[in-house]
């Protein structure tokens, strides 16, 4: 579902400005008095028990993962899996499934068939909305892309190492290039390497839409299998976004729910055309539309970078109608730099407030920013409301 607003164009005509009804980076969680009472009771009874057993199962998995990783060089990938490694693999999956069960995920519905690594070496999973999205990772033991720092975390680092992740290093300027090359190398191994599970959105959303997919999973040009996630729970305590309950709140509230449902659906393998192989962005967008259709949600051109721009310096509390995210997208499309706009828009908003109700026109706005009058600029100007949005910008940049 999309909201459409019509604005007068420079020539007197009209064009449409569309944006999602819900801000994909905001999760507003509200409880009724009865639900609050249930959470309070569960906090004192079931929550500590679940937390203890979940932690215990993770600790129990550690020695199995440690033994499985001992002496592993990579050569064993070219040989059939030995019986003892098969045993460790099955045991680890059982332990992790028990951990999720202890956390209230009693039923995990799986639809479709997971492709073999030789059929689809890359699994693209969306929407990405929480750290609970690790459930399909532990069920498939697919490799994922992780920060290099994660491997040094006690217990967790050992479990992560077991699934042979593709590590990304923030300290390495060429890390992104190396990551893409490693994914490409594994994707073209003819099924020798485990599948790589990638969250192409690159950040968490509230599952109301699918934001722009990053091209990393699609650069190798190999078939991918789209995987969609659903959490059909009455109370959404799962979602962890930029604005909303924090990580610990999500853990607490989710463990306080008696049942937590999750659905994992493996969609048919998507084989790219020659044009899509040459154009990873096109490939990513087409797969996104397939996944959005399966989920019954819309797609939006918002990206992780838009969210970062709108949340500059952490001062912004985004409104539910996403005007400022639209503002961020238009700023990028006009080639304007956020750091330059900070001072200019602060002064501009002050000047606008001192005009005693006299409206600022589009031409003045263009001259102030030193950009030509275009349709995109008019869309930006339409969002720069003298009463509401200027007040928001003044709060952001002051």
**Max alpha carbon distance in the chain (Å)?**
81
Q: What pLDDT is attached to residue 330?
A: 67
Phi, psi of 105 (to 5 degrees): -90, 75
Pick the last residue of a domain from 258, 278, 302. 302
- For residue 315, being part of any structural domain is answered with yes
- Under the banding of pLDDT at 50, 70 and 90, the label for residue 13 is very low
Same domain, 206 and 348: no
- For residue 17, being part of any structural domain is answered with no
- For residue 335, being part of any structural domain is answered with yes
Structural domain total, the chain? 2
Same domain, 185 and 330: no
Note whether 100 and 93 are within 8 A (CB): no
Same domain, 82 and 186: yes
Residue 102 and residue 364: Cα distance in Å, rounded? 61
Q: What's the Rg (C-alpha) of the chain?
A: 24
The answer on pLDDT for 273 being more than 50 is yes
Same domain, 264 and 334: no
Pick the last residue of a domain from 302, 332, 358. 302
12 or 50, which is more confident: 50
CA atoms within 13 A on the CB side of 232: 7
Is residue 217 exposed (0-12), middle (13-18) or buried (19+ Cβ within 10 Å)? buried
DSSP structural state of residue 132? G
Q: What pLDDT is attached to residue 113?
A: 96
Same domain, 289 and 320: no
Q: What pLDDT is attached to residue 372?
A: 82
Phi, psi of 16 (to 5 degrees): -100, 140
- For residue 16, being part of any structural domain is answered with no
- For residue 24, being part of any structural domain is answered with no
Note whether 244 and 26 are within 8 A (CB): yes
Same domain, 289 and 311: no
Same domain, 286 and 388: no
Pick the last residue of a domain from 302, 318, 337. 302
Please state the pTM of the whole predicted model: 0.75
Q: What pLDDT is attached to residue 350?
A: 65
Is residue 372 exposed (0-12), middle (13-18) or buried (19+ Cβ within 10 Å)? exposed
Same domain, 360 and 249: no
- For residue 60, being part of any structural domain is answered with yes
Residue 14 and residue 5: Cα distance in Å, rounded? 10
Range(s) of the domain holding residue 99? 33-302
pLDDT digits (tens, 9 = 90+) for 232-253: 999 999 999 888 899 999 999 9
Same domain, 222 and 270: yes
Same domain, 297 and 245: yes
The answer on pLDDT for 345 being more than 50 is yes
Torsional sign, CA 101, 102, 103, 104: positive
Same domain, 94 and 225: yes
- Centroid of chain to Cα 204: 3
- Under the banding of pLDDT at 50, 70 and 90, the label for residue 8 is very low
pLDDT digits (tens, 9 = 90+) for 30-48: 999 999 999 999 999 999 9
- For residue 79, being part of any structural domain is answered with yes
């Amino acid at each position: 579902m999309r909201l459409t607003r019509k604005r007068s164009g420079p020539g007197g005509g009209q064009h449409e400005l569309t944006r999602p009804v819900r801000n994909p980076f905001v999760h507003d969680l509200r409880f009724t008095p009865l639900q609050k009472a249930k959470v309070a009771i569960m906090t004192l009874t079931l929550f500590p028990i679940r937390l203890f057993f979940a932690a215990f199962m993770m600790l129990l998995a550690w020695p199995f993962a440690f033994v499985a990783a001992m002496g592993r060089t990579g050569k064993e990938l070219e040989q059939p899996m030995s019986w003892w490694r098969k045993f460790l693999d099955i045991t680890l999956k059982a332990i992790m499934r028990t951990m999720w069960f202890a956390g209230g995920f009693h039923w995990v519905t799986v639809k479709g068939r997971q492709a073999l690594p030789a059929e689809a070496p890359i699994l693209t999973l969306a929407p990405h909305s929480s750290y609970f999205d690790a459930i399909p990772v532990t069920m498939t033991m697919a490799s994922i892309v992780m920060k290099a720092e994660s491997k040094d975390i006690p217990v967790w680092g050992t479990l992560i190492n077991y699934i042979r992740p593709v590590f990304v290093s923030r300290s390495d300027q060429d890390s992104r290039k190396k990551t893409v090359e490693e994914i490409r190398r594994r994707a073209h191994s003819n099924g020798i390497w485990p599948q790589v599970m990638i969250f192409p959105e690159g950040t968490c959303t509230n599952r109301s839409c699918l934001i722009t997919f990053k091209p990393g999973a699609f650069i190798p040009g190999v078939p991918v299998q789209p995987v969609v996630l659903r959490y059909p729970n009455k109370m959404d305590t799962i979602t962890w976004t930029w604005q909303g309950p924090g990580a610990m709140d999500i853990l607490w509230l989710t463990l306080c729910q008696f049942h937590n449902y999750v659905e994992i659906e493996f969609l048919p393998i998507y084989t790219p055309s020659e044009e899509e192989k040459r154009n990873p962005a096109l490939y990513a967008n087409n797969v996104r539309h397939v996944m959005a259709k399966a989920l019954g949600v819309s797609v939006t051109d918002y990206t992780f970078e838009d969210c970062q721009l709108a949340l500059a310096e952490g001062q912004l509390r985004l409104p539910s109608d996403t005007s400022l995210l639209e503002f961020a997208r238009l700023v990028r499309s006009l080639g304007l730099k956020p750091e330059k706009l900070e001072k200019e828009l602060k002064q501009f908003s002050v000047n606008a407030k001192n005009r005693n109700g006299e409206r600022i026109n589009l031409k003045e706005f263009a001259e102030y920013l030193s950009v030509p009058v275009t349709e995109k600029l008019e869309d930006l100007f339409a969002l720069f409301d003298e009463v509401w949005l200027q007040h928001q910008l003044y709060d952001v940049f002051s």
